[in-house]
Structure 1
Amino acid sequence: MARVLAIDYGKKRTGIAVTDELQIIASGLTTVETKDLIPFLQDYIAKEQVELFVVGEPKQMDATASESEALIIPFLKKLSESIPNIPIARVDERFTSKMAFQTMIDSGLKKKQRQNKALIDEISATLILQSYLNSK
């Protein structure tokens, strides 16, 4: 089997998580500058088999699209044009940043470490991916 790769898209930084090859475990991979995201993904899939991209879908409490979705739509178009052979699934990402922050607290990270926004993005991507795996 191939991996599933999750993307927590952000204006400046994007968190990335992947599954193992059996698609059982979701693990944080890295955080990349959003401007470098497509080249990073192209390089990654040249080395690893990826069968699906899972992209977080930011929603308001009433389930309508959030303002961030306006940034994600052009990215999705660019992603599907740049890497057309890998399908894209969307997963509701409400509360993932808050859950990521709470995960950092629960795991005993010091306040200085919890201020690392890149780590929050990576954990958020992992939560999005785990949500996808749980729904399968």
Structure 2
Amino acid sequence: MSRILAIDFGTKRTGIAVTDELQIIASGLTTVNTKELIVFLKDYVATESVELFLVGEPKQMDNSASESEVHIVKFLAKLEKAIPNIPIKRVDERFTSKMAFQTMIDSGLKKSQRKNKALIDEISATLILQSYLYSK
């Protein structure tokens, strides 16, 4: 089997999580400067077998698209062009940032560590991936 890679896209930085090859465990991989995201993903899939990209779909409470959706759609077009052989699936990402922050608190991280937005993005990507695995 191949890995599933989840992306919590942000205009400045993007959190990335990945499954193991058996697609059982979701783990945070890293946070990447969004400007370098396509290059990072191309390098990653050159060395690891990835069968699916999951990209968070931010929605408002009324189910309408979030303001950041415009940026995500542009990224998706670039991703499809750069890596056309790996399908992309969208996953609702409502509340993942809040859940990521709560996870940090529950894990006992100090207040100074919880200010690390890169870590929040990575945990958010992991939560997106984990919710997809549960739904499978």
| TM-score of the aligned structures, taking structure 2 as reference length | 0.99
1:120 is aligned to: 120
SS at match of 1:11: coil
Size of the aligned set, in residue pairs, is 136
1:14 is aligned to: 14
2:4 is aligned to: 4
- CA distance in 1: counterparts of 2:40 and 2:23, whole angstroms: 21
- CA distance in 1: counterparts of 2:134 and 2:63, whole angstroms: 20
1:51-76 deviation digits (Å, cap 9, x = unpaired): 00000000000111110101100000
Deviation, structure 1 residue 135: 1.1
- CA distance in 1: counterparts of 2:26 and 2:126, whole angstroms: 6
1:88 is aligned to: 88
Q: State the one-letter code of the partner of 2:30.
A: T
SS at match of 1:52: strand
- CA distance in 2: counterparts of 1:130 and 1:92, whole angstroms: 12
- CA distance in 2: counterparts of 1:43 and 1:122, whole angstroms: 18
- CA distance in 2: counterparts of 1:48 and 1:82, whole angstroms: 16
Q: State the one-letter code of the partner of 1:61.
A: M
Q: State the one-letter code of the partner of 2:89.
A: A
List alignment gaps of at least 5 residues for structure 2.
Answer: none
Deviation, structure 1 residue 79: 0.2
Q: State the one-letter code of the partner of 2:135.
A: S
Percent sequence identity over matched residues?
81
1:92-134 deviation digits (Å, cap 9, x = unpaired): 0000000000000000000000000000000000000011111
- CA distance in 1: counterparts of 2:99 and 2:125, whole angstroms: 11
Deviation, structure 1 residue 26: 0.3
Report matched runs for 1:34-53 at 5 Å. Answer: 34-53=34-53
1:72 is aligned to: 72
1:62 is aligned to: 62
- CA distance in 1: counterparts of 2:39 and 2:33, whole angstroms: 11
SS at match of 2:16: strand
- CA distance in 2: counterparts of 1:103 and 1:22, whole angstroms: 25
- CA distance in 2: counterparts of 1:63 and 1:19, whole angstroms: 28
